[in-house]
Amino acid sequence: MKDRKWIVLGLAAALALLLAACGAKLTAVTLPEEPLELTVGGTAPLEPEFTWDGEAPAEGPAVTYTSADETVATVDEAGTVTGVAAGETTVTAASGELSATRAVVVNSATETLNVEEMSLHLADGAAQANVTVEPAELAGRLTYKTGDGAIATVDESGNVTPVKEGHTSLLVLAPDGTRAKAMITVWSGPKELTLTAETNEVTVGGTVAVTAADETGAAVDAATLTWASSDEGVATVDENGTVTVVSAGEVTITAETAWEVTGSVTLTGKEAAKPSNSGSSGSSSGSGSVAAPTEDAPEGWGTHGWFYVDVDTTAFDLQNQLRAAAGAPALTWDDSLASIAQSRCQAIAVDFSHNGAQTTGENIAVGYADAASVIAAWQGSSGHYANMINTVYTRGAIGHMYDGDGCHYWVAVFE
């Protein structure tokens, strides 16, 4: 009796399980909506999903797979799709009366994919990425990304928009996973740089300001640029674009922005022109006792009577002190020039002019009783002062003559 009871209970449980299994009904077969993309020769599983009314059975339903165009893609009994040729088709998964269809796109394998680096000015806005892809039909199926959207963004068509200054990357992906990468540089400031000097010919020892302007003609702050000289033996340039010429020759001055936009200007350094001879006169003032004459008065001396002529090294030393203060090297005393200076003292007593000058540079004066006063007078005259500090001259001498009437004559000569 007890055994019969257990048999009845076992049969009841089995019947319940059988009824439960028979009650699970397939209600839908679905496939993803987005197209399945493959390359020629590539494969991918179709992987349909099934919806049941009730608990799903341990094993899925029987499914039949078909391709609408097997010249483009095939699908086997396990649902694996294989790309055959470039094109588009659909594949279907069916179970009984239920089915689902998915688009399949077969792409040619990527043979070439390149993208060029981009340099974008903030003021110019978006620009199209320059991409080379083969086969050409893949051009519309590329995917674009930037490494840092805070610097630049890119849309689905490859249009890159600059956002702020900096560097980032542009990534281009082909359907088969082939990728290409390039740098994006976003910059601002002048697109062109034009340099202008106040004058393109500068005397040795002189300076000239070089200014910069952008493509619109607007001034560019010199302090924001990096300056350079092509030959610092000819000219140097400071951080503000001030050029100092140190020797004769041609030199190119270049300025560069932080984003490597450059401009240049060519200058010529020239030796200082030797000034023309200049004369100076002052009021006559006696000097007290005078020495006895050493020779006869020159022809045309008139009523001046006897005279005394010699060199004046005191005046010469004072002149060299002025040169030192002006940054010019000292002149070397030259005895042959001293003889010329003495001769010229006698000449200007008759004809106070530079007629008969025998040297490249000459200063003359009359009426100054001592070395300090005549040097001060020449210093106060631009032409005479230019002679005294001219760096072209390296040798010189000064002559001084005075006569019995108390007249003083001075001649400084330069070579």
Question: For 9-31, what is each residue's pLDDT tens digit?
Answer: 444 444 444 444 455 899 999 99
Q: Measured between alpha carbons, how far is 11 from 204 in angstroms, rounded to an integer?
A: 121
Mean pLDDT of 156-161: 96
Q: What is the pLDDT of residue 21?
A: 44
Question: For 241-271, what is each residue's pLDDT tens digit?
Answer: 999 998 899 999 999 999 999 999 999 998 7
Q: What is the pLDDT of residue 275?
A: 37
Which residues contact residue 406 at a Cβ distance below 8 angstroms, ignoring those fewer than 6 apart? 284, 285, 286, 287, 290
The answer to whether the CB of 204 falls within 8 A of the CB of 271 is: yes
Q: What is the pLDDT of residue 1?
A: 44
Q: Within 13 Å of residue 255, how many CA atoms lie on the same side as its CB?
A: 29
Q: Measured between alpha carbons, how far is 344 from 303 in angstroms, rounded to an integer?
A: 19
Neighbour-count burial of 230, counting CB atoms closer than 10 A to its CB (0-12 exposed, 13-18 middle, 19+ buried): middle
Q: In 224-272, which ranges are continuous DSSP H helix?
A: none
Average pLDDT, the chain: 85
Question: For 320-341, what is each residue's pLDDT tens digit?
Answer: 999 999 999 999 999 889 999 9
41 phi-psi bin (left φ>0, alpha ψ -120 to 50, beta other): left
Q: What is the pLDDT of residue 277?
A: 39
Q: How confident is the model at residue 285 (pLDDT cuts 50, 70, 90)?
A: very low
Q: What is the pLDDT of residue 404?
A: 63
CA angle, 130 then 132 then 135, to 5°? 150
Q: Measured between alpha carbons, how far is 50 from 94 in angstroms, rounded to an integer?
A: 11
